[in-house]
Structure 1
């Protein structure tokens, strides 16, 4: 029984597989099945690389028609791969180009250029990501090794393929994978740290880190968090048809209960397309400056008079110190311009940023600078340097100063202006969204079993 390629999709659907089924292609067309002595039949898998290879073969109506029915077992069809088909999966490493990868796979330069050129309009080959798989399919049925297709996934829900046509030219196509978005609500209690307890409760690392950065505007994680404080977060995950997590969706709501103070933020897209996080009153949680411009740091010295650890006598400490490992990235506390970058007496390697006509910040004792020069513009959260112990320092730490009209003030207590406040139709729509999010979170967490550190449920 022979099945032409245009009939394979219909056959799979009748057999209960559907067009989105994923087949494992044998590494060699001559692999033998131990039970039958014949060629090994492919089995179902969900590996994305195999899906790329399968799509590259199945999606073309002009591929060789020698698909042979191997049998039906429990409603699953097991079609064989055409003899002479070979495919290779190569991974992108640092410095690779798509044309160079194809050349390494044994493809002649003109063939590689033609295949890459065919992708123009569907994929920008300069956007390769380290670790990204690229599947190359060859036809060896005629004795020679002929390139048939090049396939890759720019996003987890999209495959693009450059495929050789009967006239020898390459033509591109794309296929989309339908992902299911599921809301997840998690609530828990803080025992040791927000990061440790949230991840233990099931919050993904990337979500926790984004919360830490967002709350860094208003929370001193060294002083403000105490055992017994609570957190809550609502986010989404996109799942593949096989149920595996393909990617994380955005955080829709997060709440931090600190003693008698509660901080809540909601994601909202205003009518002009701006996406930001707002408190319950519709005021942006983003402030002009970050409270802590370095991740994972501990507060080691506060603003005020102290005994200098090197000089040995008491003098005014006009900033705060954050202890961290040497090489830890230091972030710009706010949007601004590099006013000073260089070495300055006891400060060692220091950068000073001007944020507006009255406000500036300084970062001292760096081990090295990012690629910046005086006058360069930086964005809030951009890496400007790395923790060190240059200058008058006994160990690696960041000395951080906030200056108002040229005078140093306490970075931990200075009243920093907030961002925008929603008004008009945006504010009305935001209130409706807050009610909907709160209702969804209650439904999710009320149905969830209580764990030792938190509760989680997938919607």
Structure 2
């Protein structure tokens, strides 16, 4: 045997490995497996140390993080709405929100606005402008002025100074749509779809001469177009229902609002016929409506009129008539209303007459009156800047527009019919869009 050749074998093998790149790669790739095998071999050895768990060492190193920069966070402002609770004042409510701005508090206490305007109504909404640090930049809320019309009370910081105002807010009208399918009740379905209570009450009265909204059953449908009034881009209140379509027991009903002038209007079907008969008489014969119901957008002034009723222009001493048969509910003097009479016409409908100069002699609560009977005389008592009759209509305590719910509804003349036709065609197209949608629409305003 040639031992010299045997000795040369490992030398040649080593040389090949060193000079062969593929071999190197294979060796490197096998290292993890070799390590595993080695570990197994050690573990399976007979050494007395083999049964001991391997030593572990924990290393903790503190890392220095760069400081978190919240650049400009105190410049971000946002509006927050807070419901006014019984007994709340502006100062108490701001304190509840964690706002403690002594400059703002001093300004509010010495504000040029009257104390009455700065009183908060229970259930109203106070909007405050804050930043993340709780700094106050402004607040606003709706309140009634001395004429009984709602204004937007605004207190805001401009630069380093505070200023206050109380004016009819300039608003934008936006059409809001709802497609609602009744599951249990119409009122519940409307509420679930986010339809405001004022709109629900108004809707109930539009078709009240034909059917009650409560008679609608499962799978009946309501398609609705109404106004939402925006102030600085945020919803402030609702306006009129512009168009509505109801499918009830397989029968379709439609209604379209038409403005007679800047202060009043009524609802008509697609053919232009009045939907409601209303009372037989107006409370002041031949008088014009000088100020309309306020929950709507004034098309000329481009401002919100938050008047809870309508005003008739009439001189002091003009007789005020009961517009229909009724029971006298109240004969009294009430703060802003002055001398006021309230008539109850049925279980849900009442009418109110304010600012009277005097009552009809002998009139008292519980009396029955007939349509056309005198209940009092026009005056300017209470919060009033001049003689007029203020009339309100309430359905279950909720104020609604007398012009669309109770007053006699007149027919349309030829020019009004043409205007109504053009307007109703556009609104009917919106209703058709809602009708074709297979699911409920809950539009986010």
TM over 0.5: no
Which is helix-richer, 1 or 2?
2
Structure possessing the higher relative contact order (Cα contacts under 8 Å, 6 or more residues apart): 2
Larger Cα-atom Rg: 2
Bin of the TM-score, shorter chain as denominator length: 0.3 to 0.5
- Give the TM-score taking structure 1 as reference length: 0.43
